[in-house]
């Protein structure tokens, strides 16, 4: 039996593998990656490496074994048919008879287009007959803190989220929930709505940036259309810009503000405060 993590060298996957290594022997963890070079460090630590690509179904043939616990981390290639990509993994998991298939989904109340692929994937997971866990991850702190350069340059936080609030958490927090499910018992056929312990607004976020940098950083709300134009002007493809702007519209409606407590309960600790994520980003 192995704990298998797809997308293991990605932003979330690396956190999951790192935390798994604190709980289980390295040779019981299989990291699925596309690039052997990115997985080399994990291989050196005794993690099993499986090279596979969501876009190449044959690479998943025989990758799973009966009794495995699999974490399917959703793909981030919005232009390549994510549902079809996910189906490759789901079909392979069903054929192998895995003990558990966990999927990183989106909040159940999210109506933005971003959620469409997740809802379709959830249907495939439930229809597969495999014992499953749906990890409906909320928004990540890092969606904001990883790209502070333009914010600091212009001394402005610009979104189309209005006065909406976000109950975000760090990737490490969401990884801790996944690890709890993969290493624990009694999670079969459960759905967890995961979010941070605090819901914050962008005026608060700008104030926190101002406090930690000693600069006067303002919050500037704009329309969804204007925000989409800003994103495309910054080089994002139009489809991705539309998706991100759509999420801001959902934030304004309160769709990412829910605090269920599921994340901190699974992680066994409070979620990371936004202020800590900002401090970490500014140091790095």
Nearest to 181 by CA among 124, 104, 127: 104
Continuous segment of H or E residues that includes residue 33: strand 29-33
Q: Read off the pLDDT of each residue in 125-145 and give the average, rounded to a whole number.
A: 97
In the chain, the percentage of residues whose pLDDT exceeds 70 is: 99
Tokens of 248: 């801001």
**Matching residue, tokens 């499910």:** 181
81: left (phi over 0), alpha (psi -120 to 50) or beta: left
In three-state secondary structure terms, 67 is: coil
- For domain 3-139+170-195+258-271, the CATH architecture is 3-Layer(aba) Sandwich (3.40)
Sign, CA dihedral 65-69-72-73, equals: negative
Measured in degrees and rounded to the nearest 5, phi and psi for residue 133 equal -140, 130
Sign, CA dihedral 158-159-162-164, equals: negative
Residue 269: other Cβ atoms inside 10 A: 12
| 199 touches 165 (CB < 8 A) | yes
- Tell me the pLDDT tens digit for each residue of 250-271: 999 999 999 999 999 999 999 9
CA 85 to chain CA centroid, Å, is 16
Give the pLDDT score at 284: 78
Q: Read off the pLDDT of each residue in 130-157 and give the average, rounded to a whole number.
A: 96
Distance CA 192, CA 15 (A): 19
Pairing, β 29-33 against β 3-5: parallel
Confidence of residue 1 (pLDDT cuts 50, 70, 90): confident
Give the pLDDT score at 79: 65
Mean pLDDT score of the chain: 96
- Tell me the pLDDT tens digit for each residue of 48-96: 999 999 999 999 999 999 999 999 999 877 666 899 999 999 999 999 9
Sign, CA dihedral 123-129-130-135, equals: positive
In the chain, the percentage of residues whose pLDDT exceeds 90 is: 95
| 133 touches 187 (CB < 8 A) | yes
């Amino acid at each position: 039996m192995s704990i298998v993590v797809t997308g293991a060298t990605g932003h979330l996957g690396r956190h999951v593998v790192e935390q798994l290594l604190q709980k289980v022997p390295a040779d019981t963890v299989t990291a699925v990656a596309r690039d052997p070079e990115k997985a080399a460090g994990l291989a050196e630590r005794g993690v099993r490496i499986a090279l596979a690509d969501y876009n190449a179904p044959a690479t998943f043939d025989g990758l799973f074994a009966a009794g495995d616990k699999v974490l399917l981390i959703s793909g981030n290639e919005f232009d390549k048919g994510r549902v079809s990509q996910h189906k490759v993994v789901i079909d392979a998991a069903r054929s192998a008879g895995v003990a558990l298939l966990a999927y990183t989904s989106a909040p159940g109340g999210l109506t933005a287009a971003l959620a469409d692929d997740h809802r379709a994937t959830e249907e495939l997971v439930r229809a597969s007959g495999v014992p499953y866990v749906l990890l409906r991850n909320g928004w990540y702190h890092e969606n904001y803190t990883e790209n502070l350069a333009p914010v600091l340059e212009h001394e402005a936080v610009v979104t189309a989220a209005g006065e909406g609030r976000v109950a975000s958490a760090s990737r490490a927090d969401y990884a801790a929930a996944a690890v709890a499910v993969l290493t624990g018992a009694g999670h079969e056929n459960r759905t967890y709505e995961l979010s941070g312990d605090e819901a914050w607004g962008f005026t608060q976020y700008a104030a926190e940036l101002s406090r930690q940098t000693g600069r006067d950083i303002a919050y500037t709300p704009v329309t969804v259309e204007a925000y989409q134009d800003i994103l495309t002007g910054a080089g994002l493809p139009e489809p991705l810009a539309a998706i991100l702007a759509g999420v801001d519209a959902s934030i304004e409606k309160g769709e990412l503000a829910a605090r269920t407590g599921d994340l901190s309960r699974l992680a066994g600790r409070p979620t990371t405060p936004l202020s800590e994520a900002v401090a970490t980003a500014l140091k790095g």
